[in-house]
A = this chain, B = another copy of it.
């Protein structure tokens, strides 16, 4: 499909065009990058006032019931007539090999909904690349008219920071536990959470979930007060994704938070800062990519590397030679 056809198809909400466009932005090929940039620009140009989804970042360590939550929460939104897209940032997916096939089967109901769109994790281990692809996929989903984009990540490494840098709200999913343990969640992740959901508030675990919720609510109030939080936020709620309990309240709280931030100007400011951040990140990646992309620069740099390795020249001088090659 050419850029024009893709652009029209996406704006028309066609899933096939959206899928193809996401595949395009996921490609690292230089010509694909040029086409992807043109497509994103065309989508922007075609919208007088650009469509905006609520971008919800979602994190939680394995075992907290993230898939069940996405399935139940996504279905609840779809039943309200909202269009929901689910994307994943998981730099380890290529290694584990699991989620590529797994994403659709673990959200069986949602994946069959016409109003839902589930995209498996891009199969690449490098976080920088995954981040750009996911961010551009979010932009495509917004242009395709999705109301909510859920960006999921596993609770390891730096991917939470990456996800929070592309989200309007960051939701942390926890399991019932003793209040004195952080369930393997890093403190920094706790600090970026806008809403904490303690899942599994059902059956035997209900009392524990409510206790955990109260513990976190108290701790959050003590720990933080950020300018982007209205009174009473960050909140902690107990929910049951399995029994679909508390999902409506969670959605209402997200709406309250989003409305307040829009009214206070935080929303626009955050998105502006995020855009600037991603531009600089991409520029850094693009500069470094020159060194590894096949071509005369890479070959010359490899030869300079050989002379440095053999001791013929010093790294410092070789760097100056390489820079001269890059900026003749």
Contact = CB atoms under 8 A, between A and B. Distances in A.
Interface of A: 33-34, 36-38, 40-41, 44, 50, 135-136, 139, 271-273, 275-276, 278-280, 282-284, 286-288, 290-291, 301, 304-306, 308-311, 313-320, 322-323, 326-327
Contact of A318 (B279, B290, B320): B279
Given A323-B286, A327-B327, A136 B272 contact: no
B301 A291 contact: no
B314 A40 contact: yes
B286 A291 contact: no
A139 B314 contact: yes
A50 B280 contact: no
Given A309-B272, A327-B326, A315 B282 contact: yes
A37 B321 CA distance: 11
Give this chain's copy count: 2
- Per CB-CB distance, the 9 closest pairs between chain A and chain B, nearest first, are A37-B316, A272-B309, A279-B315, A279-B308, A276-B309, A40-B314, A282-B319, A276-B305, A275-B308
28 contacts: A36-B316, A37-B314, A37-B320, A38-B317, A40-B317, A41-B317, A44-B313, A135-B315, A139-B314, A272-B310, A273-B309, A275-B309, A276-B306, A276-B308, A279-B308, A279-B318, A279-B319, A280-B291, A280-B301, A282-B316, A283-B301, A283-B319, A286-B323, A287-B287, A287-B290, A287-B291, A287-B326, A288-B288
Given A305-B280, A311-B275, A316-B40, A288 B291 contact: no
Contacts of A319: 37, 279, 282-283, 286
Nearest to A315: B279
A14 to B, nearest CB: 21
Contacts of A280: 291, 301, 305
